[in-house]
Structure 1
Amino acid sequence: MGSTSSTPKASRTIECHICINRYSKSKFQKITEKCTHKNDICITCVDKHISSRMENVINCPHLGCGKEFEFNDIKRIATKKVFERYDTLTLRKVLQGMPEFKWCKNASCGSGQIHFGGDDAPIMTCNACKAKSCYIHDVPWHKGKTCEEYEKFRKGADAATTDYLQRETKPCPKCGIKIAKKGGCNHMTCTISSCKYEFCWL
């Protein structure tokens, strides 16, 4: 009586080095173009790794590797949602490195633009929401004061505190208290116990 042999299921699957689940080989890809190690981290875990490292340098999570992801590595392996978020953050980082680029100071806007007028044309009008800001001081437009008058005002007040509040804080959309962002994601929660309003920093 003849017999047929079958390949054990375990030999047809690979165990993910991170989540310890077993998947078919199709769930594993080369992580970066520079990686030379075995492909034993599933694409779901790599996608989660990319998502958690968005605001830092993203390196291969394989123990002992650490090769840096290139843009095309992330585009190839990340889900559409994660890649679009990464692409947006990458663009924002590039823009922030351009001295002529300024973010709109309207807390509910989140847009930005290059201001070609420079110091000679200090009033910058947002193309998206039409809010005005001062290109020189990088704060909402000091209505009723020229830049020279605002500079004198700053010197009369605590200049560092004034600039910090203008540049680094945004008012809670519900109660208006100024809130500072200390890194992390853009999901914010108002610190006032009677408010606790949740909003997006951008």
Structure 2
Amino acid sequence: MPKTRNFECNICYNDVPVVDFMRTSTKCNHRICRECLNKNINTQLNSKGNTEIKCLKSNCEVLMDYEDMKRVASEDLFERYEYLCLRQAIRKMPDFRWCSNPECGSGQEHFERDKAPIMVCIECEKMTCYKHEVPWHEGRTCAEYDIEKGTPEGATSYAIERDTKPCPKCKVRIYKTGGCTHMKCTNPGCYYEFCWL
């Protein structure tokens, strides 16, 4: 029986069977072990929400494309990559808005824009303000909401609605300052973990 040849990975410095080395991209010839590639992809996708993943070889600026990701990434990572690519593409659509219901996760295009700013979610039927991207400000027009937003109380309320999400378990509002989309509730006794997206 032929002996499997091993090579040292330039990233983790482990001896790895040659069959576990992958070419990072079709645009460069750098070969890195599958484990290091998947760790890098996981870090980029989960901590930064980044879908532009560079070759791990130092000074190589080549980005992995869709086919590279499909070939190299584990099934779970590739699904996450596709999901983030879809969300990034949707964000570029000028008429698209996400539902303001944190338990929904749906969104839709709203072609009426500011002419008819009440957007009713096709999934959960919650009303969202198209202009402000917050739950519909019942009893106030967008102009009245803008005036209220200009007051200290209104600005605080607007910032809370726009920049925080309730914990899916205990409903305490959580503020995300950056970094990973993996969240952990800070409410003592809860500490529920969830994805910000």
Distance 2:165 2:146 in 1: 22
**Alpha-carbon contact 2:119-2:130 (below 8 Å) kept:** yes
Residue number in structure 2 paired with 1:3: none
Distance 2:38 2:94 in 1: 33
Q: Alignment length, in residue pairs? A: 193
Question: Which of these residues, 34, 40, 44, is aligned with residue 53 of structure 1?
Answer: 44
Residue number in structure 2 paired with 1:66: 61
Q: Note the C-alpha offset of 1:78.
A: 0.6
Is 1:25 the counterpart of 2:18? The answer is yes
Is 1:42 the counterpart of 2:49? The answer is no
**Alpha-carbon contact 2:148-2:155 (below 8 Å) kept:** no
User: 1:66-85, CA deviations, whole angstroms, 9 ceiling, x for partnerless residues?
Assistant: 31111221111111110110
**Alpha-carbon contact 2:53-2:64 (below 8 Å) kept:** yes
Kindly report the root-mean-square deviation, in angstroms, between the aligned alpha carbons of the 2 structures. Answer: 2.2
Structure 1 or 2, whichever has the larger Rg, is: 1
The DSSP-based 3-state class of the residue aligned with 2:23 is coil
Counterpart of 1:71, as a letter, is Y
Q: 1:1-202, aligned counterparts within 5 Å? A: 12-37=5-30, 39=31, 41-54=32-45, 55-56=49-50, 57-202=52-197
Are the structure 2 counterparts of residues 64 and 150 from structure 1 closer, same or farther at C-alpha, using a change threshold of 3 Å?
Answer: closer
User: 1:9-49, CA deviations, whole angstroms, 9 ceiling, x for partnerless residues?
Assistant: 58x22222223332332212221111134x2x111211111
Under a length normalisation based on structure 2, what TM-score does the superposition of the two structures give? 0.86
Percent identity, please.
46
Counterpart of 2:145, as a letter, is Y
The DSSP-based 3-state class of the residue aligned with 1:36 is coil
Between 1 and 2, higher relative CO (CA 8 Å, sep ≥ 6) is seen in: 2
Q: Note the C-alpha offset of 1:125.
A: 1.2
User: 1:116-175, CA deviations, whole angstroms, 9 ceiling, x for partnerless residues?
Assistant: 111111011112221110001111111122223322322334554333211111122343
Under a length normalisation based on structure 1, what TM-score does the superposition of the two structures give? 0.84
- Which ranges in structure 2 are unaligned for 5 or more consecutive residues? none
Distance 1:89 1:108 in 2: 19
